[in-house]
A and B are shown apart, each in its own frame.
Chain A
């Protein structure tokens, strides 16, 4: 119980730190924020820009706790409604590509871990290295060139109206593919999983199980759940960062695209809101990871 309280406390504390960091960086900006955007006094008041800095931070953070991130400095839209509008496609994209990369990486990683020096195992590691060195935007162009030049089926505009199978599939498939392959996610997963399989394969308890003649895959499975979840969590940040590029290439309207747009227009409140939401997402995953570790691994309970 105490361990769990500690974990949750750490979660809250680190979110506080992250929010302070974001606020601090944004307010490093030279010059007056209200002047940069020519805000009217009433808007500036609404964004607490006329208060002392420390008061501003607490008011902003208090607003964030109730999902009120202020209003956009460019067009006055509510940041929370902007995020609410752009988040669902982004989440679908992120989790779709996560799923795809796990689907590819687990078999490859397990094979490479079991037979690291076989020709196929060596080929897998070479291919993985080469793939992870292709930047997302280059891969995106290669894919676009192939798709436009050869197949001509891609839908560039976001589908509207009721759900139709084909436009949605073609709209999501390419970004999901590029994000999974080009962002180094698959490469990282394969490398990590194969290393972990190698470790587990050499462990005493597997040798003992093999000697007993019991079913090996159960022991394997139990000891692989935590590492796999762990690598997913450590890769969440990379995944969400890659969204910015992928959404820009494919003109995919999601959080990454919104943050790119906000940076271009220097829309401070929007970028602060998006960053905080992303940090919150990552933190929630880390929290889940820690709790899962406590639940599955009795040694963690102290």
Chain B
């Protein structure tokens, strides 16, 4: 039958998962690389006229905005556009905002470590080229709303993507960089090497991952890259056992015996024949799954206040910083980061799982 390559791709198992995961991962990588260069607001711009303004997309607003949120936004606009009291769009005795710690906008400006000067007229002077940013009176819309400091949610989400993606790469480097060689050695040499690797693995496996990370945080400074390294170390057993099982089966096969007879060096046999020709699919699958895992752990740690620290933005610490806002009508501050976290993890999971299904299908043939 004469089938197009697209059709053939889609017919294999797992192709839809690969597509869905791939799109999400691509978007995430794009957000990491581009940063907030193309958005109307940067993550550091404080739009003090629009504290806690809800998303400006019409259908989203109709779908999701609670009555309380609408009420507050109406009052916000009335206060902000009123003329004289630019500095305080919301008066400080407003009971809806008190729990968020917004006493006045100057304090909010300095608390986040942004440039606090010039908050008197209600608008933070933009640094550098800012002609596409908000002009007086003609504010650009905040597509996903703003948080309690007037920061644009979309810009925050994009800035957070970077702090999810890059630590994930550190985890992968540790887990795969150490796990793959250990697995190869254990599977190929067997005997004592396998025993040593096994002991190492079972020692790591008998500590709860998050608790081990807490121990390291307790001993050293809470730094995302340390903790991601530790996370990578706790994932070594999984990778190395997977690789070792496959290599153990492979190393009794004809082509490896032939390679030995041909007096190829162990290095060539291990890395070219056993790893690259036979196991690189496993490598990429594990890469994807480990990225998912590390995003999960990074956001969790940021939520526990041990990951990315507040001036830096991470999806986890956005949720942590606005804990109770969900219950008082400001759903968008916690809702969008939560959706972003779930989508990012789901994307990597789907990608890994789809690739895995394809690998199983191909090897089964």
Are the C-beta atoms of A275 and B207 separated by less than 8 Å? Answer: yes
Contacting B at CB under 8 A, from A111-130, are 129-130
Is there a chain B Cβ closer than 8 Å to A29's Cβ? yes
Residues of chain A with a CB closer than 8 A to B306's CB: 263
Q: How many A-B residue pairs have CB under 8 A?
A: 126
Q: B residues 320-365 with Cβ under 8 Å of A?
A: 326-327, 334, 338, 341-342, 345-346, 349-350, 353
Against A, the Cβ 8 Å flags (1 = close, 0 = not) of B298-321 are 011001111000000000100100
| Interchain CB contact under 8 A, B349 and A259 | no
- Which bracket fits the contact residues of B? 35 or more
Partner of A129, one of B205, B327, B341, B350: B350
A270-286 contact mask (Cβ, 8 Å, vs B): 1 or 0: 01101100110011001
| Choice from A21, A29, A234, A241 contacting B211 with Cβ under 8 Å | A241
Residue of chain B at shortest CB distance from A286: B206
**Known: A17-B199, A137-B300. Is A266-B218 also a contact (CB below 8 A)?**
yes
Q: Are B206 and A135 in contact (CB under 8 A)?
A: no
Q: How far is the CA of A239 from the CA of B299 in the complex (A)?
A: 18
CB neighbours of A239 from chain B (8 A)? 208
B292 at interface (Cβ–Cβ under 8 A)? yes
Q: Are B209 and A22 in contact (CB under 8 A)?
A: no
Assembled-state Cα–Cα distance A144/B268 (Å): 56
Considering only residues 141-192 of chain A, those with a C-beta below 8 Å from chain B are 141-142, 145, 148-149
Complex formed: what's the CA distance from A275 to B217 in Å?
A: 13
Q: Is A138 an interface residue (CB 8 A)?
A: yes
Contact A129 B326 (CB under 8 A): no
Q: If A29-B220, A138-B319 touch, does A241 touch B349 (CB 8 Å cutoff)?
A: no
Tell me whether B2 is interfacial, beta carbon within 8 Å: no
- A141 to B342, alpha carbons, bound, how many Å? 13
Bound Cα distance from A138 to B334, whole angstroms: 9
Contacting pair B303 A245 (CB below 8 A): yes
User: Hey, which chain A residues are within 8 Å of B212, CB to CB?
Assistant: 275
Q: For residue B348, which residue of chain A has the nearest CB? A: A133
Task: Let me know if A282 and B304 touch, CB within 8 A.
Answer: no
Nearest CB in chain B to that of A245: its residue: B300
A82 to B300, CA, bound (A): 25
Q: Is the CB of B208 within 8 A of A237?
A: yes
Q: Are A29 and B304 in contact (CB under 8 A)?
A: no
Identity of the chain A residue whose Cβ is nearest the Cβ of B353 in the assembled complex = A129
Q: Is A248 an interface position by the 8 A CB rule?
A: yes
Which residues of B (273-314) have their CB < 8 Å from a CB of A? 292, 296, 299-300, 303-306
* B305 x A264 contact (CB < 8 A): yes
Nearest Cβ distance between residue A146 and chain B, in whole angstroms? 11
A286 / chain B contacts, CB cutoff of 8 Å: 202, 206
**Does A244 reach chain B (CB closer than 8 Å)?**
yes
Residues of A within 8 A of B209 (CB): 237-238, 241
A interface majority secondary structure: helix
Closest partner residue, chain B, to A22 (CB atom): B215
Q: How far is the CA of A242 from the CA of B209 in the complex (A)?
A: 9
Indicate if the CB atoms of A26 and B218 lie closer than 8 Å.
yes
Do B346 and A138 touch across chains, with their CB atoms under 8 A apart?
A: no
The chain B residue sitting closest to A148, CB to CB, is B327
CA distance A26 to B209 in the complex (A): 16
Q: Is the CB of B206 within 8 A of A25?
A: no
Hey, what's the 0/1 contact readout for A232-276 against B, CB within 8 Å counting as 1? 001001111111110010000000000110111011100110110
Interface size class of chain A, counting residues whose CB lies under 8 Å from the partner chain: 35 or more
Convert B178-194 into 0s and 1s, putting 1 for each residue whose CB lies closer than 8 angstroms to a CB of A.
Answer: 00000000000000000
Does B166 touch A at the CB level, under 8 Å? no
A203 at the A/B interface (Cβ < 8 Å)? no
Q: Is the CB of A28 within 8 A of B211?
A: no
A271-B303 CB under 8 A given contacts A129-B350, A278-B208 = no
Residues of A within 8 A of B29 (CB): none
Residue B173 at the chain A interface, CB threshold 8 Å? no
Q: Is A282 touching B300 in the complex (CB atoms < 8 A)?
A: no
Return chain B residues, CB-CB under 8 Å to A234.
205
B12 at the interface (CB under 8 A from A): no
Residues of B within 8 A of A244 (CB): 210-211, 214, 304
CB–CB B220/A241 < 8 A: no
Interface centre among A234, A241, A248 (most CB of B within 10 A): A241
Partner of B218, one of A17, A132, A262: A262
- Determine if A98 is an interface residue (Cβ-Cβ < 8 Å): no
Q: How far is the CA of A130 from the CA of B341 in the complex (A)?
A: 12
Nearest CB in chain B to that of A268: its residue: B218
- Asked whether A300 is an interface residue with its Cβ less than 8 Å from the other chain, the reply is no
Chain B residue numbers with a CB within 8 Å of A29 are 218-220
Whether the pair B203, A14 counts as a contact (CB closer than 8 A) is: yes
Contact partners of A149 in chain B: CB under 8 A:
327
Knowing A133-B292, A137-B303, the reply to whether A271 touches B218 (Cβ < 8 A) is: yes
Cβ–Cβ contact B219 & A27, under 8 A: yes
| A137 and B319 within 8 A (CB) | yes
Within 8 Å CB of B208, what residues of A?
Answer: 237-241, 243, 278, 282
**Interface presence of B97 (CB below 8 A):** no
B339 to chain A: closest residue by CB: A138
Q: A135-B345, A263-B217 are in contact. Are A18 and B300 (CB under 8 A)?
A: no
Closest-CB distance, A138 to chain B (whole angstroms): 5
Q: Is A274 in contact with B218, judged by CB distance below 8 angstroms?
A: no
Query: Is there contact, CB below 8 Å, between A135 and B218?
Result: no
Q: Which residues of A contact B207 (CB under 8 A)?
A: 18, 21-22, 237, 275, 278-279, 282
- 30 interchain pairs, CB-CB under 8 A: A14-B199, A14-B203, A18-B206, A18-B207, A26-B215, A26-B218, A28-B219, A28-B220, A29-B220, A129-B349, A129-B350, A129-B353, A133-B345, A133-B346, A135-B296, A135-B299, A135-B341, A135-B345, A138-B319, A138-B338, A241-B208, A241-B210, A241-B211, A244-B304, A245-B210, A245-B304, A263-B306, A271-B215, A275-B207, A278-B207
Give me 6 other A-B pairs in contact (C-beta within 8 A), A129-B346, A135-B296, A141-B338 excluded.
Answer: A30-B220, A148-B327, A240-B208, A259-B214, A278-B207, A282-B205
The 6 closest A-B pairs by CB, nearest first: A241-B210, A241-B208, A133-B345, A240-B208, A29-B219, A133-B346
